[in-house]
Amino acid sequence: MNETWHFLREFESKDLVKRYIKKKYDFGLNSAKAYEITSAFKQGRSYFESVKVADISVKPLLLYYGIVSLSRGLILILNKEARENNIKPSHGLKITNWTDVEKSGKLEDIIIKTTNGTFRELISATNNKSYFRAGSSGINWHAEYVILNDQFEFSLKDLSYSFPDLTKSVESWLGTKIPSRQLKTLKHKDNKTVIELHGKGEVAEIFPEMLFKNQTISESNNITNVTFECPAPPHLCQKWKSAFEVIGDPYVIPPFGSLIFLNDISKMFAVSFIFGTISRYYPTTWNNINSGIKNDSILPFAVNLIDFIQAKYPQVIIDFLESPYEFEK
């Protein structure tokens, strides 16, 4: 068991959870809620341990159950009013177009729609915020987005752009270059956002004009400069490993459906929900994929994604547990 889980084991102790809450929020947590938190983290660890030895036919489902458990534990901690009996038992997501996708075989076209449930509660508890390692092995930056009250939809293709460490797998699966760029700098000046991106080329999909108004774009020395008017930062996601292995970098991707910005933890939750749902409710489709019978071009991405989320989701949970950071104070 790695250092990440060594730390998370502390949240399986009632006494340590109560001590953590007292130190972080300066209030006394009752034992009943402390047990609810420890139960969620214990269950989450058990699911994650099961994923390591499970057959590929059930790995996505076990991973998703583990993610739900850890997410509920985090929600119980971040939301003072949350309890087991008032957190909604539903997932908060549903696939809306499975019949069409099953006919076409184009899994990237899967559409999921938000409902009331854990997904929306997770976004709310984390304030739709992502923490970033920007040219660093440690957290040194964050971005926060508006929390939408209405239901909204996005696709598996949208989500697949969100994991820069898996770019090669995504591009092999989709057969096209994905629209993402490494962020170099981001500054605000005179009511405008000024961004430098590594590399040259088209960025219209990343910065749709309906959101990023009054744009100016220029290129020089393999850097793309983008200036625009928008109250929110661009849609960002974390790349965990660069050429220096342990140094991370933020990447810019298109808003989902040209309108939606989500933090990294909810993107991981959502993509795990999709593969967990396929594994659980459409096992023939999933077995056809992992057996090389039909639509198996997605398999390398799916397997690499499972490994990636299994390693990184617990760390993202820790990122929130250790917040706020000095740069936020």
Q: Of 15, 14, 20, which Cα lies nearest the Cα of 318?
A: 20
Q: Kindly list the distances between the CA atom of residue 300 and the CA atoms of 146, 171, 262, in Å, as whole numbers in the listed order.
A: 33, 11, 25
Token duo for residue 79? 């939301």
**pLDDT at residue 136 above 60?**
yes
Q: What band does 3 get if pLDDT is binned at 50, 70 and 90?
A: confident
Q: What band does 88 get if pLDDT is binned at 50, 70 and 90?
A: confident
**pLDDT at residue 141 above 60?**
yes
Q: What band does 191 get if pLDDT is binned at 50, 70 and 90?
A: confident
Tens-digit pLDDT profile for residues 246-286: 678 999 999 998 789 999 999 999 999 999 999 999 999 99
**pLDDT at residue 129 above 90?**
yes
Instruction: Determine if the peptide bond prior to 324 is cis (ω within 30°).
Output: yes
Give the pLDDT confidence score for residue 247 in this predicted structure.
78
Percent of the chain whose pLDDT exceeds 70: 98
C-alpha count within 13 angstroms, C-beta hemisphere, residue 158? 23
Give the pLDDT confidence score for residue 1 in this predicted structure.
53
What sign results for the dihedral spanned by CA atoms 152, 158, 160, 163? Answer: negative
Q: Which residues contact 139 (CB under 8 A, 6 or more apart)?
A: 131, 132, 133, 319, 322, 325
Tens-digit pLDDT profile for residues 239-256: 998 755 667 899 999 999
Q: What band does 292 get if pLDDT is binned at 50, 70 and 90?
A: very high
User: DSSP states of 176-206 as a string?
Assistant: S----EEEEEEEEETTEEEEEEES-S--TTT
Give the pLDDT confidence score for residue 232 in this predicted structure.
79
Give the pLDDT confidence score for residue 225 in this predicted structure.
96
Mean pLDDT of the chain: 94
Q: At residue 260, what is the residue type?
A: I
